[in-house]
């Protein structure tokens, strides 16, 4: 069964989701060439705990950190450590919080210093595909409509959609039903109902769709070593228009994106 949240539960979950956006904004203030991924992780953990929440990822399935930081050809689940970010890198930062019984889960891919135009376009278009997907997260549509919106847009630019990893329901558990692929046929899959809360998260590769897992058991990277971008929002399915619970507003204030 796909969980349906009450309006009250969705408002509680919105607070967890907004805290993720605020945490990623704190991280955004520090992202520049020369910073280590561990430094970013420590800032995020302190900020989350200072706001009365727990890191949603730390300890989840044995994951050792607060943030997943995936650099360049790493798609998701990169472990923070001694890696130093360099000019021209991109860093997908995925963050989770747990507060008042509900999870928030959101991700943003940051440019580090000056990135090349090809990579910058990948970031912009991956983010755009997220919002096209969210437009489909309304009652009466189907899961396949969400994935089809991402796939059609991104493949139109010659990018590929990761098939091995998908979005998901989110609520009292970090991963709930249904799975939310970033590809699919319109009109296929589970029917969307008001009160479902989904983590919609396009993972888009500049090159081929195939991925591989590192020996650390977590990090997923592109098989052809080309860059990958990842953006994620928590979205409540509603009648007529989806309700985005998380936010990039605080992040983009820091980055001065208008």
Query: In the numeric block, which tokens belong to residue 18?
Result: 């907004």
Please give the structure tokens belonging to residue 248: 């990039």
Give the pLDDT band of residue 83 (cuts 50, 70, 90): very high
Is a pLDDT exceeding 90 seen at residue 258?
no
The Cβ of residue 39 has, within 10 Å, a number of other Cβ atoms equal to 16
Residue 238, pLDDT score: 98
Nearest residue to 137 via CA among 241, 5, 234: 241
Burial 99-125 (b: 16+ CB within 10 A, else e): beebbbbbbbbbbbeebeeebeebbeb
| Domain 7-255 architecture | Alpha-Beta Complex (3.90)
What is the share, in percent, of the chain residues with pLDDT greater than 90?
99
φ and ψ of 51, to 5 deg: -105, 20
Residue 225 pLDDT > 90? yes
Q: What does pLDDT average to over the chain?
A: 98
pLDDT at 12 over 90: yes
- H or E stretch covering 169: strand 167-169
Q: If you average pLDDT over residues 62-76, what whole number do you get?
A: 98
Domain range list for the chain? 7-255
Token pair 């549509």 in the structure block, residue: 141
Write the pLDDT tens digit of every residue in 85-133: 999 999 999 999 999 999 999 999 999 999 999 999 999 999 999 999 9
pLDDT digits (tens, 9 = 90+) for 192-212: 999 999 999 999 999 999 999
Q: Alpha-carbon torsion 64, 72, 211, 120, what sign? A: positive
State the DSSP string of 146-167. Answer: HHHHHHHHHHTTT-EE-SS--E
């Amino acid at each position: 069964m796909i969980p349906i949240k009450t309006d009250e539960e969705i408002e509680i979950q919105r607070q967890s989701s907004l805290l993720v956006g605020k945490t990623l904004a704190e991280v955004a203030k520090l992202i520049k060439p020369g910073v280590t991924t561990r430094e970013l992780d420590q800032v995020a953990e302190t900020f989350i705990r200072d706001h009365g929440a727990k890191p949603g990822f730390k300890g989840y399935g044995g994951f050792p950190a607060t943030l997943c930081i995936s650099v360049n050809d790493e798609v998701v689940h990169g472990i923070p450590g001694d890696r130093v970010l360099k000019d021209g890198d991109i860093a997908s930062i995925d963050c989770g919080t747990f507060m008042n019984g509900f999870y928030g889960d959101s991700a943003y891919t940051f440019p580090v210093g000056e990135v090349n135009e090809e990579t910058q376009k990948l970031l912009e278009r991956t983010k755009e595909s997220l919002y096209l997907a969210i437009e489909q997260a309304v009652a009466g549509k189907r899961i396949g409509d969400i994935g089809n919106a991402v796939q059609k847009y991104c493949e139109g630019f010659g990018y590929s959609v990761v098939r091995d990893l998908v979005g998901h329901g989110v609520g009292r558990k970090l991963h709930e039903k249904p799975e939310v692929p970033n590809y699919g046929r319109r009109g296929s899959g589970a029917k969307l109902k008001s009160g479902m809360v989904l983590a919609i998260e396009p993972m888009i590769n500049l090159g081929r769709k195939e991925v591989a897992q590192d020996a650390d058991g977590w990090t997923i990277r592109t098989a052809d070593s080309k860059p990958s971008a990842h953006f994620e929002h928590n979205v409540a399915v509603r009648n007529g228009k989806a309700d985005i619970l998380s936010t990039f507003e605080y992040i983009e204030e820091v980055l001065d994106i208008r």
